[in-house]
Amino acid sequence: MPTTIFVILAAYFFAKGSKKFHDWLLRNKVFGTYLSNYRDGKGMSVGSKIFSISFLWVGIIFSVVMLEITWLKIALLAVAIAVTIHIYKIKTTPKVG
């Protein structure tokens, strides 16, 4: 499963529900810098965009192949297209960090 959107959602809900957990997530070694840069509008590096979009599509395609429910396949593809467009529109920086 793609994780980017879930990490962003976690940060959003932590910000609304618990300052302690929100601060912890922003200080996290793995996700903290990416979340801070996203929140502050600093953008993503080209490499991060390629990595995120690649893993998004690998996960979606695997899910679509494994599923037998047509409407769910269409919904997953629609979500993948929307997330791809969103990531593409994020400001591109030389390097995140």
Give the lowest-confidence range in 11-15, 28-32, 69-73.
11-15
Give the rounded percent of residues in the chain with a pLDDT score beyond 90. 37
- Does any domain span residue 96? no
User: Which amino acid, 30?
Assistant: V
* Global confidence as pTM: 0.71
Q: Which domain holds residue 18?
A: 1-43
User: Both 49 and 85 in a single domain?
Assistant: yes
Per residue in 39-66, pLDDT tens? 888 888 898 889 889 989 999 999 999 9
- Considering the chain, what is the average pLDDT of its residues? 86
Contacts of 17 (CB under 8 A, 6+ apart): none
Q: Are residues 54 and 20 in the same domain?
A: no
Give the phi and the psi of residue 39 in degrees, each rounded to 5: -60, -40
